[in-house]
Amino acid sequence: MNSKSKGKVCVTGAGGFVASWLIKRLLLSGYQVIGTVRDPGDSKKVGHLWMLEGATERLELVRADLLEEGSFDEAVSGCDGVFHTASPVLAIPKSSSSSSNIKSEILEPAIEGTLNVLRSCKRNLPRLRRVVLTSSSSTVRVREMTSLTPTVDEAVLLDESSWSSEELCERLGIWYALSKTLAEKAAWEFCNRNGIDLVTVTPSFVIGPNLPAVLSPTAADVAALLRGEKEKFEWHGRMGYVHIDDVAVAHILLYEKEEAKGRYICSSTVVDIQDLASILSQRFPFLPIPIPTSFKKHARPVYDFDTSKLKGLGMRRLRSIEEMFDDCVGSLIMQGHLSPTPIIQPPSSPSHTSLV
């Protein structure tokens, strides 16, 4: 461990899936970390953070809520950098899908919450060096179909210049993508107007070990797939995947590299759900993963991500699907969220008997 402090940084939404791993990496790199959470006394949500190496010496948790004006002032004050990860990761509102709940539970915390954090950042200028915003590949990939039956050969290569269609997100009710798209655009507008150095990272679906005791929404979706449920992933269809440790390392790279500028796609591999199911069922035959042909094919654009911008900044090799799911499955089993079903072996006949 690096014992010399590399400076003080704030991470919003510290107890979350992505933020927890980012804090683990920041502490290992020698940073002093101020994490914001809605309830620092909720041991189920924050207990795992205190187990991280370096936490007792260099981690502080501060209460802050995206929807309370000025709530982040204390946490951001005196920080050299801010990693803003807090945002609702919800496909639909928890209460009911009325338009007022979509606004109050998904859109407002994402958009107004981001502006709230950035207003605190503005009050911390000129001390504050940079803000790294955790955006999402859903701000890049939600686009109209260019062909009714696209093939993989026709895949559109999406780079950082691509923005999801707000109109399409609204028409299809993809509220999460709409919230992230509007939040990132609002952040760019605010930071450009107020002289804040902003860099954004747009990870695809994040896979890897889960540090919090409670499963995050995306980790819960993955656990459901591995338990044999196909509903969520059938809807996801084609999707990019990235290892959680690569996402954390990318955040820190974007903070540390002076020359980082603009948006950065962070994604390892894009695959159709049928291909993902096939890879996973071969790799984990002891899990009841649905068979690839059982997934309904939705008409969706076929795309890939151009990740050359992040690689050009010096990002290390992004881990493969196999590596990210090995780590994810291992952690889900260890935490008791997944139990391997015993493999039924056919009765052995003399010709199959092992010599040892």
Residues in touch with ligand NAP (CB under 6 A): 13, 15-19, 37-38, 45, 65-67, 85-89, 109, 113, 134, 136, 180, 203, 205-206, 216-218
Q: Pseudo-torsion of CA 310, 181, 173, 268, nearest 10°?
A: 10
Strand partners, 184: none
* Rounded least distance, CB 294 to ligand NAP, Å: 23
Query: Which residue's CB is nearer to ligand NAP, number 63 or number 150?
Result: 63
User: How far apart are alpha carbons 182 and 185 in whole angstroms?
Assistant: 5
User: How far apart are alpha carbons 16 and 251 in whole angstroms?
Assistant: 15
Query: Which residue's CB is nearer to ligand NAP, number 221 or number 272?
Result: 221
What phi and psi values does residue 39 have, to the nearest 5 degrees? -145, 95
Query: Which residue's CB is nearer to ligand NAP, number 26 or number 342?
Result: 26
**H or E element in which residue 115 lies:** helix 108-122
* Rounded least distance, CB 58 to ligand NAP, Å: 20
Query: Which residue's CB is nearer to ligand NAP, number 31 or number 83?
Result: 83
Residue nearest to ligand NAP (CB): 16
* Rounded least distance, CB 220 to ligand NAP, Å: 10
* Rounded least distance, CB 135 to ligand NAP, Å: 7
For the CA atoms of the chain, what is the radius of gyration?
Answer: 21
* Rounded least distance, CB 354 to ligand NAP, Å: 43
Query: Which residue's CB is nearer to ligand NAP, number 188 or number 356?
Result: 188
- Give, in degrees to the nearest 5, the angle at Cα 301 between 228 and 138: 70
**H or E element in which residue 24 lies:** helix 17-29
* Tokens coding 164: 């999801």
Query: Which residue's CB is nearer to ligand NAP, number 218 or number 281?
Result: 218
* Rounded least distance, CB 140 to ligand NAP, Å: 11
Burial class (CB in 10 A: 0-12, 13-18, 19+), 149: exposed
User: How far apart are alpha carbons 196 and 198 in whole angstroms?
Assistant: 6
CB-CB contact of 325 with 283 (8 Å) = yes
* Rounded least distance, CB 71 to ligand NAP, Å: 8
Using the CB atoms, write b or e for 45-61: b if 16+ within 10 Å: bbebbeebebbeebbeb
**3-state SS, one letter per residue, for 315-328:** CCCCCCHHHHHHHH
Query: Which residue's CB is nearer to ligand NAP, number 128 or number 324?
Result: 324
Query: Which residue's CB is nearer to ligand NAP, number 103 or number 146?
Result: 103
Q: What is the DSSP letter of 93?
A: -
CB-CB contact of 118 with 131 (8 Å) = yes
* Rounded least distance, CB 348 to ligand NAP, Å: 43
